[in-house]
Amino acid sequence: MLRLLLKLFSRARQKPSLLDHGSDSVVLFAQVEKVARTNLTAPPLPARKQSALPLPNHRERLLSMMLEHTKMCSIRRCERLHGMGMVTTGDLARADLAKLAERFGAPAKALRVLKQYRRAIRFAASVPGMMPRDALLLISIHRRSVRGLALESPARLHRDLERFAESTSGRQQLRGRRIPSTRRLKKWITECETTASASPFHSLVS
């Protein structure tokens, strides 16, 4: 655009008819030409800075998830927990489970299930890429800690999950979903190895 403007001004200088209107027109053309040349040589404007707001990490994102999005329990149970004020996984992780269980028909059974949910939430929050439904599967085959998972073999872990998936409780828990692939298991194990090496005394997930 600026080059085209300069070209037009150059042609105007070559045609006296355009400059017959007096010295004011000549001065005007000279000023516009100067501005145009300045714009051509001006340094580019600095890029706009991106937002300085930090991105949420895995733990923060997981603890803010709606319970139904975790697919850890049925929609009906999620709706019942919503009625008790348990909307996100963070709500359930921080709740007084004993008092919450008293609001169910079978408090003892409800307490056991709620503790499993909370254990799965905390376990998943400690392993990037893991969701509570995945952690619940691992807990069902007695893998309950970051340190313990760091010592696992992906192939052995996948084999144990396959066996669990064939059981009655496994089918009920999976509800048609597939078990995690060996590749995903390997990724979780690698993450656990990093966490365990950074904190060698990592305890069992409560």
The total number of structural domains that make up the chain: 1
Q: Does residue 27 lie within any of the structural domains?
A: no
Tell whether the torsion through CA atoms of 7, 9, 10 and 12 is positive or negative.
positive
pLDDT at 15 over 70: no
Q: Does residue 129 lie within any of the structural domains?
A: yes
Minimum mean pLDDT among 22-31, 96-105, 182-191: which range? Answer: 22-31
Interior/surface letters 13-31, b for 16+ CB within 10 angstroms, e for the rest: eeeeeeeeeeeeeeeebee
pLDDT at 203 over 60: no
Which residues contact residue 138 at a Cβ distance below 8 angstroms, ignoring those fewer than 6 apart?
123, 144, 149, 157
Q: Does residue 78 lie within any of the structural domains?
A: yes
C-alpha distances out from residue 202 to 9, 123, 147, 149, Å? 75, 12, 6, 11
Q: Does residue 202 lie within any of the structural domains?
A: no
Instruction: Give 37's pLDDT tier (boundaries 50, 70, 90).
Output: low
Q: Does residue 122 lie within any of the structural domains?
A: yes
Which residues contact residue 10 at a Cβ distance below 8 angstroms, ignoring those fewer than 6 apart?
none
Q: Does residue 165 lie within any of the structural domains?
A: yes
Compare 24 and 103 and report the one with higher pLDDT: 103
Instruction: Give 196's pLDDT tier (boundaries 50, 70, 90).
Output: confident
Q: Does residue 153 lie within any of the structural domains?
A: yes
